[in-house]
Structure 1
């Protein structure tokens, strides 16, 4: 199927690559179908692109690449909605806010995207009992950076 995208122009995708967000994404409840598109020459970042709305594409990444200690428990209703994925079939992504100065870019660790790779069902989960926030700096700066010493 052909779709128009925010960053890749018009492209062809396979129907089996479409992720189904049955409840949409918070703030975009009507958007149910997305696909993951790679960024050229970059293995760390992808675009979570709406299949229906060309201008709706989120830059996402695997949060464990940047936050080794990231950990949370998925609530039972989310597990049920995703059809009880096994641990090996779960992919976790986080939406990024990319800044002009890449060093200031942030990750939303409070609301990870969970994908069941076995059936392509997906959900953005909002973690309530956690210290995670919506803006965690991706690239940690050394304490002495920018200081004259």
Structure 2
């Protein structure tokens, strides 16, 4: 299918790569289909809406920047996403890039969980104080790891 995107222009994507979010994502409940696209020459990806060309989120693998990142998915999410095995999931966090790159943040409070076998996803919002929506991604520890 032809897709108009915010960062990649017009591209072709295969239906098998479309990820369905049954209830959308918080704040964008009407947007239910996305694709994850590499953001060329960066460690980031773009989560692009299929229906809205201007709606795209910069995402990243949280473990690249926060190796200690840890959470437990509620049983309801495991059931909703039909997760059978830990290897079935792909985790991304939404990143807010700033003009001053070192001020960019990751939302660790609401990771995007994707069942990569079934291509269904959900942004899970944790209501504890352990993580916030604005963790600096370029910390001294990240620099030591070369990211």
Task: Specify the TM-score bucket, using the shorter chain as the normaliser.
Answer: over 0.9
User: Is the strand fraction higher in 1 or 2?
Assistant: 1
Residue 141 of structure 1: how far off its partner (Å)? 4.1
Distance 1:128 1:86 in 2: 25
Which of 1 and 2 has greater Rg?
A: 1
Query: 1:55 and 2:24 equivalent?
Result: no
Unmatched 5+ residue regions in structure 1? 143-149
Residue 19 of structure 1: how far off its partner (Å)? 0.3
**Secondary structure in 2 aligned to 1:47?**
strand
Q: Please say if residues 106 and 137 of structure 1, whose CA atoms lie closer than 8 Å, have aligned partners that are also in contact.
A: yes
Cα RMSD between the aligned structures? 1.1
Poorly superposed stretches of 4+, deviation over 4 Å: none
Q: What are the within-5 Å matches in structure 2 for residues 126-137 of structure 1? A: 126-137=125-136
Match of 1:19 in 2: 19
Distance 2:125 2:5 in 1: 26
Task: Provide closer, same or farther for how the CA distance between residues 85 and 102 of structure 1 changes in structure 2, counting only shifts above 3 A.
Answer: farther
1:91-142: per-residue Cα shift (whole Å, max 9, x none)? 1100000000110000000000000011001000001134100000001148
User: Is the helix fraction higher in 1 or 2?
Assistant: 2
How many residues matched?
141
Unmatched 5+ residue regions in structure 2? 142-147
1:25-53: per-residue Cα shift (whole Å, max 9, x none)? 000000000000111122x2000000000
